[in-house]
């Protein structure tokens, strides 16, 4: 397993969930990884688990100076950075009428501003080398609307637009920028009450695959975009959503199981 042999990656929000799955997979595929997160205990434990191929850095993605510290740690410990996965994010369930200004700003700052700072600071490092891959984690809610997710959807639509602009500005200089759009994924964010998988799957009966996704399934998509296997992808938007964006699967209609 060596699709990322000798590559150095930074993964934000890497302490748990999709970020942690991505860090584990990248190390298995030969990468050396800097895990960044505000969850210091979880991040440090993951770095210990992964051994000498990983390093954890406490990092608030809203802080420009901390971004530079993460980049400096990566280059000092492992060498020039080849891959950035902008995965850090938060979710707030509120209607627009109920959302406080401070809540909206926090979601935008972490999800969108944090992604922008990574694209700008780590991207500049990659541009100077003339190569690199940036994977921005958006959401299916960056491709559609969702009631109760006004701040989150706005941030994820913003990531989608930012990715397209970065792809245009960076691609001809050797740095590919793409986005992935997870649907429902069984993580602490997607399943905050740790419900059994069978119970969670009931809420996905109208998704073509009729189940929630795994963090590893998102990680494998990030691996593809980080690796040379995706060498001609730039500005791509990949939905990892079990078919959610194709439309609702109406149980009981012709073509449904048992009909």
Cβ 157 vs Cβ 237: under 8 Å: no
Q: Crossing angle, helix 17-28 and helix 40-50, to 10 degrees?
A: 20
Residue 11: phi, psi to the nearest 5? -125, 115
Residue 149 contacts by C-beta under 8 Å, 6 or more apart in sequence?
91, 92, 93, 141
User: How many Å apart are CA 185 and CA 214, to the nearest integer?
Assistant: 6
Tokens read off for 148: 């109760």
Cβ 59 vs Cβ 53: under 8 Å: no
Which of 152, 170, 204, 249 is flagged as catalytic? 152
Cβ 108 vs Cβ 158: under 8 Å: yes
Q: Give the H or E element holding residue 236.
A: none
Cβ neighbours of 121 (radius 10 Å): 17
**Which of 5, 24, 26, 6 shows the shortest CA–CA distance to 15?**
24
Read off the DSSP letter of residue 8: E
Active site residue 249: no
258 CB-side CA count, 13 A: 3
Residue 29 contacts by C-beta under 8 Å, 6 or more apart in sequence?
1, 2, 3, 4, 5, 223, 227
Instruction: State the sign of the Cα–Cα–Cα–Cα dihedral 145, 23, 124, 178.
Output: negative
Residues labelled as active-site residues: 152
């Amino acid at each position: 397993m060596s699709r990322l042999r000798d590559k150095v990656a930074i993964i934000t929000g890497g302490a748990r969930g999709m970020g942690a799955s991505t860090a584990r997979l990248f190390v298995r595929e030969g990468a050396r990884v800097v895990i960044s997160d505000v969850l210091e205990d979880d991040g440090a434990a993951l770095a210990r688990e992964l051994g000498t191929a990983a390093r954890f850095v406490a990092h608030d993605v809203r802080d420009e100076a901390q971004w530079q510290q993460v980049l400096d740690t990566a280059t000092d410990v492992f060498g020039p950075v080849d891959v950035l996965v902008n995965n850090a994010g938060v979710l707030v369930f509120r209607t627009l009428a109920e959302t406080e200004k401070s809540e909206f700003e926090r979601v935008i700052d972490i999800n969108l501003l944090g992604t922008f700072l990574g694209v700008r600071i780590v991207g500049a490092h990659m541009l100077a080398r003339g190569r690199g891959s940036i994977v921005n984690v958006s959401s299916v809610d960056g491709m559609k609307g969702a009631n109760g997710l006004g701040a989150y959807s706005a941030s994820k639509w913003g990531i989608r637009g930012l990715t397209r602009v970065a792809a245009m500005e960076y691609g001809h200089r050797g740095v590919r920028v793409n986005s992935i759009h997870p649907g429902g994924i069984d993580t602490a964010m997607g399943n905050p009450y740790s419900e059994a998988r069978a119970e969670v799957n009931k809420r996905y009966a109208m998704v073509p695959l009729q189940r929630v996704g795994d963090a590893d399934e998102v990680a494998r998509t990030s691996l593809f975009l980080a690796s040379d296997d995706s060498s001609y992808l730039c500005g791509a938007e990949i939905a990892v959503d079990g078919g959610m964006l194709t439309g609702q699967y109406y149980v009981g209609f012709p073509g449904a199981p048992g009909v």
